[in-house]
């Protein structure tokens, strides 16, 4: 091998020269500012306020770079925080763009704080920790909680049982207004920076499960209670309504006094409704609710002129082995039980009555709750109702006399009126 001198090979000497050149070049680039770690869009840096002027703040971010907080990003700074800023102060900034159309490095103070809050939210979510904050506001769906510089949302379904009990009223203001400013502990259940969604849960933070909430609700509810809930599901057999965190069923028969074949035509998921508690099954953890029982019953209005003991004219509409159904007025039917058809023993109503036959019957029972009227044929001539029949007959005669008297007066008036002559 050819030697450059007695001890050093020519190839090795060339390598050392190359390394030295690279080192010198790096030093030169550093001196010329070409090896600087320039800001990148989307990163957060610590900057120093260089100047504050109307409408903008000049921030030094090192590396001989200065950026601007201006326009909307300037306006977003809360007044109380802006008043505390001063030249020379360090603060975090978010790099919006490295170079705009005017060649400016654009920064944001508020976005930097928000990104820090997003980092904190992701940390809480990942570690399954809880966060203590304050209720900052509300909307129709639930509460808004201050999470650093963000507002997290707690849906009403994720509120604790105790807070749900206090959330009464027909408007968001009535339900949640009094809670603003209160402390609240929450868990993070969803973090989505791109969609700016931060979903929180108070129920999860306090360790409440669906079963534990249902047990508390059932323990506190009583039959007859009237509460406001939100429809969570609509089925062909009824609707499920969430009451204080537990679902109860409004069976299709309890939705309305009118016949409903398809509940989805009248009721929608998310709709608020007032319901009455009509049954509680503690063993099966079921709650029965009613909407129609909070409305006026049209059947009651239709039968308000009917009284037990009255005689009514009716038309037989159906014969069964246990009795006969009779129509006593529009949309109102009653049952003549087979035992109330005749004093003599009969095996079937058709031995005495026929479809379409018009008969006089006596009302012996009116049950508004079940919409049932009991009628009797054999008691039409019963002595037990003799006094009532006489009173009713006397009243009818009196009314008849009044009508006759009025008719005669009209006739007399006509006779006294002079007749025109030709």
Range of lowest pLDDT (124-138, 299-313, 315-329):
299-313
In a domain, 56, yes or no: yes
Indicate if 110 and 50 belong to the same structural domain.
yes
Range of lowest pLDDT (69-73, 241-245, 352-356, 384-388):
384-388
CA dist 129 to 100, 215, 296, Å?
Answer: 40, 26, 51
In a domain, 54, yes or no: yes
Mean pLDDT, residues 58-71: 85
Give the pLDDT confidence of 12-46 residue by residue, as tens digits. 444 445 445 444 544 554 555 455 667 888 888 89
Residue 77 CB neighbours (<10 A) = 17
Indicate if 83 and 102 belong to the same structural domain.
yes
Indicate if 304 and 379 belong to the same structural domain.
yes
Distance from C-alpha of 232 to C-alpha of 216, rounded to nearest angstrom = 19
Nearest residue to 314 (alpha-carbon basis) of 360, 282, 269, 246: 360
Indicate if 303 and 241 belong to the same structural domain.
no
pLDDT value of position 290 = 96
Nearest residue to 374 (alpha-carbon basis) of 335, 317, 402, 340: 335
Distance from C-alpha of 303 to C-alpha of 246, rounded to nearest angstrom = 38
Indicate if 147 and 185 belong to the same structural domain.
yes
pLDDT at 62 over 90: no
Under a CB-based contact definition with an 8 Å cutoff, are residues 30 and 72 in contact?
A: no
Q: What is the pTM of this model?
A: 0.53
Which CATH number covers residue 161? 2.40.50.140
Take residue 401 and report the two structure tokens written for it. Answer: 């006399």
Indicate if 355 and 308 belong to the same structural domain.
yes
pLDDT value of position 132 = 94
pLDDT value of position 384 = 74
- Which percentage of the chain shows pLDDT scores above 70? 85
pLDDT value of position 409 = 54
Find the helix or strand (DSSP H, E) in which 373 lies.
strand 372-376
In a domain, 22, yes or no: no
pLDDT value of position 207 = 87
- Give the position of tokens 């608020």: 272
pLDDT value of position 24 = 53
Query: Among residues 172, 205, 238, which one ends one of the domains?
Result: 205
Give the pLDDT confidence of 124-164 residue by residue, as tens digits. 999 999 999 999 999 989 999 999 989 999 998 899 988 98
Q: What mean pLDDT value characterizes the chain?
A: 84
Indicate if 109 and 145 belong to the same structural domain.
no
Nearest residue to 375 (alpha-carbon basis) of 282, 312, 285, 300: 312
pLDDT value of position 419 = 46
pLDDT value of position 10 = 41
CA dist 396 to 4, 6, 308, 402, 403, Å?
Answer: 145, 149, 18, 10, 10
In a domain, 13, yes or no: no
> In total, how many domains does the chain have?
4
Residue 185 CB neighbours (<10 A) = 14
In a domain, 134, yes or no: yes
Query: Among residues 89, 114, 139, which one ends one of the domains?
Result: 114
pLDDT value of position 36 = 60
Indicate if 242 and 272 belong to the same structural domain.
yes
Distance from C-alpha of 234 to C-alpha of 241, rounded to nearest angstrom = 9
- Which percentage of the chain shows pLDDT scores above 90? 49
In a domain, 21, yes or no: no
Mean pLDDT, residues 154-179: 89
In a domain, 362, yes or no: yes
Indicate if 132 and 157 belong to the same structural domain.
yes
Mean pLDDT, residues 303-327: 93
Indicate if 250 and 290 belong to the same structural domain.
yes
Between 200 and 412, whose confidence is greater? 200
Burial zone of 43 (CB within 10 Å; 0-12 exposed, 13-18 middle, 19+ buried): exposed
Indicate if 189 and 159 belong to the same structural domain.
yes
- The domain containing residue 307 runs over which residues? 299-385
Indicate if 162 and 200 belong to the same structural domain.
yes
Query: Among residues 205, 236, 269, which one ends one of the domains?
Result: 205
In a domain, 397, yes or no: no
CA dist 161 to 137, 210, 245, 353, Å?
Answer: 19, 10, 6, 60
State the pLDDT confidence band at 59, using cuts at 50, 70 and 90.
Answer: very high
pLDDT at 8 over 60: no
Between 3 and 208, whose confidence is greater? 208
pLDDT value of position 420 = 44
């Amino acid at each position: 091998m050819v030697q450059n001198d007695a001890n050093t090979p020519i190839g090795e000497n060339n390598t050392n020269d190359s390394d030295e050149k690279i080192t010198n070049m790096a030093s030169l680039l550093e001196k010329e500012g070409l090896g600087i770690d320039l800001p990148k869009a989307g990163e957060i840096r610590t900057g120093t306020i260089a100047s504050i002027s109307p409408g903008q703040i000049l921030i030094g971010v090192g590396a001989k770079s200065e950026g601007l907080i201006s326009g909307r990003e300037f306006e977003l700074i809360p007044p109380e925080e802006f008043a505390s800023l001063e030249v020379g102060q360090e603060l975090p900034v978010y790099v919006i763009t490295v170079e705009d159309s005017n060649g400016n490095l654009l920064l944001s103070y508020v976005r930097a704080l928000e990104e820090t809050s997003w980092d904190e939210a992701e940390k809480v979510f990942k570690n399954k920790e809880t966060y203590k904050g304050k209720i900052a506001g509300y909307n129709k769906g639930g509460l808004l909680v201050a999470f650093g510089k963000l507002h997290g949302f707690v849906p009403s379904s994720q509120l604790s049982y105790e807070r749900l009990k206090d959330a009464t009223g027909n408007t968001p203001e009535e339900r949640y207004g009094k809670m603003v400013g209160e402390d609240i502990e929450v868990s993070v259940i969803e973090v989505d920076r791109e969609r700016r969604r931060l979903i929180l849960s108070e129920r999860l933070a306090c360790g409440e499960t669906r079963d534990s909430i249902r047990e508390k609700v059932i323990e506190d509810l009583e039959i007859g209670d009237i509460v406001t809930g939100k429809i969570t599901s609509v089925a062909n057999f009824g609707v499920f309504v969430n009451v204080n965190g537990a679902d109860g069923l409004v069976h299709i028969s309890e939705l309305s006094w009118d016949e409903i074949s398809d509940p989805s035509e009248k009721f929608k998921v998310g709709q608020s409704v007032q319901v009455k508690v009509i049954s509680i099954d503690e063993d099966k953890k079921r709650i029965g609710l009613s909407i129609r029982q909070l409305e006026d019953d049209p059947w009651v209005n239709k039968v308000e002129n009917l009284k037990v003991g009255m005689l009514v004219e009716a038309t037989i509409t159906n014969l069964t082995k246990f009795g006969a159904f009779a129509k006593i007025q529009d949309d109102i039917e009653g049952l003549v039980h087979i035992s109330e058809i005749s004093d003599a023993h009969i095996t079937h109503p058709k031995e005495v009555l026929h479809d379409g036959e018009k008969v006089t019957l006596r009302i012996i029972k009116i049950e508004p709750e079940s919409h049932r009227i009991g009628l009797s044929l054999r008691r039409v001539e019963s002595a037990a109702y003799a006094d009532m029949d006489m009173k009713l007959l006397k009243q009818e005669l009196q009314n008849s006399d009044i009508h006759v008297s009025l008719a005669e007066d009209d006739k007399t008036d006509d006779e006294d009126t002079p007749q025109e002559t030709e």
